[in-house]
Amino acid sequence: MAETVIDRAARATPPVMAKKVKGLSDRAIAWIFVAPTIFILLAINIFPLIWTIYLSFTNFRVNRPNNAIEWVGLRNYERILGDPDVWITMQATAHFLIWTIVCQVLIGFTLAYLINKKFRGNDLWTTIIVFPMMLSPAVVGNFWTFLYQPQIGLFNYIVGFVTGADPSSFSMIGEVSLAPWAIVIVDTWMWTPFVMLICLAGLRSIPDSIYEAAECDRASKWRQFWTITIPMILPFLMLAVLFRGIENFKMFDLVVQLTGGGPGNTTTLTSIDLKREAFEKWRTGYSSAYAVILFVTVFGLASIYVKALNKVKQR
């Protein structure tokens, strides 16, 4: 298969593509092929973004289309950054981000490490573990409210069975102290497989010869783990954290269905708060400024992080 006639014919030709071909010129084809994509992305992504930025400097309200759009300068931004409730929301989001990433990285890496032991049937079990990640977060979130029911829910029953506590004595999504953990548990259940897959790819990319060399030098297994496995897998772990960070910063569907932001405002993440401002209170200008702040935050943090990631990769 490797040495086909085409291969040999190809090698006989110079590596530069032939300039003159029949039909349209390459330049024309390139344009025809790229233009629709660029056009759609400009129309559906960039144009709305610019519009959001424009609206963020106004006091426009979607539900009052007859009111004149008034330019208010930076007032929306001042109000958001000076609002203690917004900062509480940010804290809730940070709490959610940190704990989901910690749990997912620890469990995901452990699973990948175990699967990499190449026991029989590991591919089958890997596929099973991956299922939750592919499902609809909204549908899954809704069903977890059933699992979390104090009297009848499976989660409470199992926790009660294992710890001996009364299953009806606590409500994961109804209590202020438990609700943040309820969303961390479901998010971890859903997205640990993602971190696991990335770690697995990382572990499989480490050449065996490094371990063999370490073995010759009589390095202990523990030593090998810390001086070979961890540094080699670090870029992969960091990439997993980046992806999970961006996704969870945008987190909306799962949490809306699971807790709706409650009880109180304990699980109101920034996306949920933004949705309330934009589509319940209809403060379009204000929520546009909110959206811009969020986007700049994600973009800024991600850029700094990617720089750090590239440094680790180069080592």
Partner 1 sequence: MSFSVTEPSTRQKWVAGILVVGYALITMLPLLWIVATGFKSSTDSIAYPPKILFEPTVEGYVNVFTTQTRLSNDMAEEPREDLPWYEQLVREKGNTIVGASRYSERFFNSVIIGFGSTFFAIVLGTAAAYAFSRFKVPLKDDLLFFILSTRMMPPIAVAIPIFLMFRNLGLNDTHAGMILLYTAINLSLAVWLINGFIDEIPIEYEEAALIDGYTRFQAFYKVVLPQAATGIASTAIFCLIFAWNEYALAVLLTSGTAQTAPPFIPTIIGVGGQDWPAVAAGATIFLVPVMVFTILLRKHLLRGITFGAVRK
Site residues for partner 1, window 29-68 (CB under 8 A)? 29-30, 32-34, 36-38, 40-41, 43-49, 51-52, 55, 62
Q: Under the criterion CB under 8 A, does residue 77 sit at the interface with partner 1?
A: no
Residues 237-276 interacting with partner 1 (rule: CB under 8 A): 239, 243, 246, 249-250, 252-253, 256-257, 270-271, 274-275
- Shortest Cβ 73–partner 1 spacing (Å): 19
Q: Which of 80, 97, 101, 111 binds partner 1 (CB under 8 A)?
A: 111
Asked if residues 312 and 237 have their Cβ atoms less than 8 Å apart, the reply is no
- Shortest Cβ 291–partner 1 spacing (Å): 4
| Segment lying near partner 1 (by CB under 8 A), choices 68-76, 79-87, 97-105, 108-116 | 108-116
Q: Which of 2, 27, 66, 217 binds partner 1 (CB under 8 A)?
A: 27
Q: How remote is the C-alpha of 139 from its chain's centroid?
A: 18
**What mask, x for binding partner 1 by CB under 8 A, covers residues 121 to 140?**
xxx-xxxxxxxxxxxxxxxx
| Segment lying near partner 1 (by CB under 8 A), choices 26-34, 66-74, 95-103, 172-180 | 26-34
Closest CB to partner 1 among residues 105, 147: 147
Size of the site for partner 1 (CB under 8 A): 111
Ramachandran class of 219: left when φ > 0, alpha when ψ lies in -120 to 50, beta otherwise: beta
Q: Under the criterion CB under 8 A, does residue 99 sit at the interface with partner 1?
A: no
Q: Which of 142, 180, 203, 234 binds partner 1 (CB under 8 A)?
A: 142
Asked if residues 290 and 85 have their Cβ atoms less than 8 Å apart, the reply is no
H-helix segments, the chain: 5-12, 26-41, 47-55, 75-81, 84-115, 122-134, 137-147, 154-163, 179-205, 208-216, 221-224, 230-249, 253-258, 270-279, 284-314
Let me know if 308 is exposed, middle or buried by CB neighbors in 10 A (0-12, 13-18, 19+). Answer: exposed
**3-state SS assignment for residue 241:** helix
Nearest-angstrom CA–CA distance, 200 and 269: 31
Closest CB to partner 1 among residues 74, 128: 128
Residues 190-209 interacting with partner 1 (rule: CB under 8 A): 193-194, 197-198, 200-202, 204, 208
Question: What is the DSSP-derived secondary structure letter of residue 15?
Answer: S
**What mask, x for binding partner 1 by CB under 8 A, covers residues 153 to 192?**
xx--x-------------------------------x---
Nearest-angstrom CA–CA distance, 164 and 305: 44
Nearest-angstrom CA–CA distance, 277 and 290: 9
Q: Which two tokens stand for residue 312?
A: 């680790």
